[in-house]
Amino acid sequence: MRSDLMTKGIERAPHRSLLKAIGYTDSELKRPLIGIAQSANEVIPGHVHLNRICQAVKDGIRMAGGTPLEFSTIGICDGIAMGHQGMKYSLASRELIADSVESMAQAYPFDGLVLLPNCDKIVPGMIMAGARLDLPTIVVSGGPMRTGVCGGREIDLITVFEGMGKVRVGELTEAELNEIENSACPGAGSCSGMFTANSMNCLTEALGIALPGNGTTLAVDAARIRLAKASGEALMYLVEKNITLRQILTKEAFHNALAVDMAFGGSTNTSLHLPAIAHEAGIELPLSEFNRISGLTPHICNMSPGGPDHMEDLHQAGGVPAIMKTLAESGLIKEKALNVTGKTLAEVLADAAIKVLNPETIRPLDNPYHATGGLAILSGNLAPDGAVVKQSAVAPEMLEHQGPARVFDSEEEAFSAIINQQINPGDVIVIRYEGPQGGPGMREMLSPTAALAGIGLDKEVALLTDGRFSGGTRGAAIGHISPEACAGGLLGLVREGDPIKIDIPGRSLELLLDESEIAKRKALWQQPEAKIKKGYLARYARQVGSAAKGAVME
């Protein structure tokens, strides 16, 4: 066993003595030692309950003959970090989390690894480390939050963000907003729509690195505890058979993840995280692959923020396994891919209990919400390396749009203009110098997009940025524009009033200026001074790569 490096032989007596100081017995130290990377804390609602789930994972490991050793990672809630300096640290924290899990699993040679995250960058950060380490590994998420209810209608965190704009235009009173605020997030779990956390947790099932139900079983359900125990037991099977993570994270697995992502209309952030995970697994996953699979895969789930359904609706309709079975029936899934159960996907989906239980929540392929997938990658002179949009959450009238640029060099400037109603119908808002390097940290910008929706301009105004958006963003919000402005991208040359043409069906994003004018502006452009000059973000800005390749540290 790998753990023999720290527990076996007389030369390891000092090591065993230190482990016995924690309370481990000789019998426990002779069993496979399983590391549990978990991110429980009291600052993220999706993580506040993880200690209980971690205990259930430990129970499963012990029932199957292993010894669990728990350790912690940091975690940042994008919703709480939104709209201020804290958001600069969110994407950057993904690399810290990956490095910390790697450090622990190399310092302590575990025989297997359980990854226990729930939200935003914690999920991909842990999986990146798992792919780097290539141990027998399983992912157990904390599960989604229940849907909020206010005044007899279902609401979620996005309702609160959009409520700010509604107060500004007189559609809501502050008292009504306070009632929404008190009801939208009813308890523990990742926010209840198909936002970044739930998109990534569902994709762990599609990748084959988590048990069925991991993405959709509610955080507060007893079924989540049973799933955690079963996951601990499943991990011990992987250890016994020496099935490592890279044996599961194959090209076929990433194909399946993209197909499911397109089918349920996942967060635009998956176009950052899946390539980053693939990079750690030694697999290239270009943005062009997102477009290719989007063209093949109908959008069959109408999830919040683009539609009315929430995670508990998807779970009750059959969850990710039902989506995959639907896609597999038309050959859109690679069924030979291996799963953490030790079975192929075909064997897993052969279970008669896996079926669609609500054909409106998971529609058949011949009756989709949209003929193509939920995400689209755009290119053109404004984004030669690519830009991403959640096309399933764009109003039909905004799929093609041309308008004058309204240029802002920070999120704060743009948000102020929006909330103070200084934006006109037809405008194309440009928020630049918010990319991975220029931000630094590529902030998520739910505040401006939600404000646009709140004041009723989401069907009349587009927003472009080299930053990124929350999975909760809706409207013609196009992010991850690469190269970013700080790296000399054309976005940095746009001026107030310049005409910009957006063609989402045609996959293009163009600044309508002739080449001579662009050349003149390039000759005058100078890279701006770094916004942050010390600390982790300064190091991150110097080392981070393009969003087009997952914004990984180079």
Task: Give the Å distances, CA to CA, from 352 to 231, 252, 322.
Answer: 21, 24, 11
How far is the C-alpha of 273 from the C-alpha of 292, rounded, in Å? 18
Q: 105 — phi, psi (to 5°)?
A: -75, -15
The half-sphere exposure of 507 on its side-chain side, counting CA atoms within 13 A, is 16
- Is residue 90 within 8 A of residue 96, CB to CB? The reply is no
- Is residue 553 within 8 A of residue 444, CB to CB? The reply is no
- Is residue 15 within 8 A of residue 23, CB to CB? The reply is no
Please list the residues that pair with 38 across neighbouring strands: 72, 116
How far is the C-alpha of 218 from the C-alpha of 96, rounded, in Å? 28
- Is residue 417 within 8 A of residue 407, CB to CB? The reply is no
- Is residue 436 within 8 A of residue 544, CB to CB? The reply is yes
Quick check: is 470 catalytic?
yes
**329: CB partners within 8 A, 6+ apart:** 365
Q: 148 — phi, psi (to 5°)?
A: -75, 155
The amino acid occupying position 123 is V
How far is the C-alpha of 185 from the C-alpha of 379, rounded, in Å? 37
Counting Cβ atoms within 10 Å, is residue 384 exposed (0-12), middle (13-18) or buried (19+)? Answer: middle
| Rounded-to-10 torsion of CA 206, 209, 210, 214 | -40
Taking alpha carbons only, the member of 437, 445, 518 closest to residue 478 is: 445
Task: Give the chain's end-to-end CA distance (angstroms, integer).
Answer: 33
Angle, alpha carbons 493-542-123 (nearest 5°):
100
- Residue count of the chain: 554
The amino acid occupying position 526 is Q
The active-site residue out of 379, 470, 482, 546 is 470
Helix (H, G, I), strand (E, B) or coil at 464: strand
Q: Which residue has the tokens 């100081």?
A: 21
- Is residue 386 within 8 A of residue 483, CB to CB? The reply is no
- Is residue 74 within 8 A of residue 103, CB to CB? The reply is no
- Is residue 446 within 8 A of residue 473, CB to CB? The reply is yes
How far is the C-alpha of 34 from the C-alpha of 109, rounded, in Å? 9
| Rounded-to-10 torsion of CA 496, 500, 504, 507 | -120
Query: What is the set of active-site residues?
Result: 470
